[in-house]
Homo-oligomer: A and B are copies of this chain.
Amino acid sequence: MKISVTGLGKAGLPLAAVIADSGIDVIGIDLDKQKCQMINKGYNPIKEEPGLSELIKKHGGKKLKATSNPENAKKCNVHIVIVPLFIDENKKPDFSLLKKAFENIGKLAKKNDLVVLETTVPVRTTETFVKDLLEKHSGLRAGIDFYLAYSPERIMTGYSISRFKDFPKLVGGINKISTEKIFAVYKKFAKPVKVSNSRTAELAKIAEGVYRDVNIALANELFKVSEKYDINFWEMKEAAKHQYCNILEPGNVGGHCIPVYPWFLINELKVPLIKTARILNEDITEYYAKKIEKIRGKRIGIVGLSYREGVKEKAYSMSIDLIKLLKKKSYDVYGLDPLYTKQEIEKEFGVKYLDNFSKMDVIILMNKEFKYKNRLKKIKGKVVDVKNVLG
């Protein structure tokens, strides 16, 4: 058996490395040639991922060969696709990367091959969009001549390797035989759990994101309620906690996952609760901005620019939304994040570099960036602490 993994990003590379580590030959495919070279030399391009550097050092260029040429996957009999699916400004998914990936695989796919999608997608994508593309480009019949299944990645940067061990890996085919096939393959490197079909696995993945989005929106709403009644939200949250009640932490929701998945349902069905939650979470920057307006002064510092502490990733970062909003209101905006250099901050986020906290009129602490905790504590009265880092 030889497996190709298309997409060597934050989700694909740990998967490819884990498969290689189980003793299977892996061809990793990524458009980024420089990244492929790095991997083949044994260097890990995702430094934030514990355990990944060891695996890349061990298998890069050997069991795990990275390439930008999809044709190098010709000899593979299992093809896994794990490329990103972004949404555009109208919240519609942009399938272009997925389309390209499956066109390439369609051209290579042989009889009895297994094709697997791991990207989180709208329900039924595997059995419709993916199936159609593969059949068109291969001339073979999905579920008969070759097998087609879905298995959602459950990556969280910083925990990706351990999640392969700790989380059950859902697998569901477009038909029964495809489910059996993916189960047999995946049990060589993960803990697969069969579900009835690919769409059940697709919805399960979306549902777990939606669950978090709705519960964070509830926390945000209860946070606002607490402020109205002059109650310490964090104390109230703790007091309400027991085996049947676990209010999550409020705050801004960023990253590739939770801000995206709810739209897969909202676009297709009437889901008023899920939609209300998403809009509430998107509007939370407005709420922070309104808090700032109550404070005299125009110099605003933002600490924490990436979407989450410890992950160098701008995608769907609420700090970017907040910067945009504050600039529109003519504030003088400064930024700081330990993952970005002064130059990167100025260039990529379009703000001044924040080096002197005491010069700011207010500082917004946007994620759990503990690094500056003590410095910020000294000026606590000036800090809007979105994640209660200062305690």
Q: Are A235 and B269 in contact (CB under 8 A)?
A: no
Q: Taking the complex as formed, is A225 at the interface, i.e. its CB lies under 8 A from any CB of chain B?
A: yes
Q: Which of B168, B196, B207, B242 contacts A208 (CB 8 A)?
A: B242
State A106–B224 Cα separation when bound (angstroms).
Answer: 35
Interface of A: prevailing SS: helix
Interchain CA distance A85-B355 in the complex, whole Å: 55
* Identical copies of this chain, number: 2
A267-326 contacts to B (CB < 8 Å): 269, 271-274, 276-277, 280
- Residue pair A123, B229 in contact (C-beta under 8 Å): yes
Asked, given contacts A212-B244, A218-B273, A244-B208, whether A225 binds B239 with beta carbons under 8 Å apart, the answer is no
Closest residue on chain B to residue A208 by CB atoms = B245
Q: Residues of B contacting A277 with CB < 8 Å?
A: 273
Tell me the A199-231 residues at the B interface (CB within 8 Å): 199-201, 203-205, 207-208, 210-212, 214-215, 217-218, 221-222, 224-226, 228-231
Query: Is the Cβ of B272 less than 8 Å from the Cβ of A276?
Result: yes
A-B contact pairs, 23 of them (CB 8 A): A123-B229, A123-B231, A168-B242, A170-B239, A193-B239, A199-B229, A200-B235, A200-B236, A203-B229, A205-B240, A207-B247, A208-B242, A208-B244, A210-B218, A211-B218, A214-B215, A215-B215, A221-B272, A224-B269, A225-B265, A272-B276, A272-B280, A273-B277
For chain A, the bracket of interface size reads 35 or more
State the A residues within 8 Å of B (CB). Answer: 123-124, 154, 167-168, 170, 193, 195-196, 199-201, 203-205, 207-208, 210-212, 214-215, 217-218, 221-222, 224-226, 228-232, 235-237, 239-240, 242, 244-247, 265, 269, 271-274, 276-277, 280
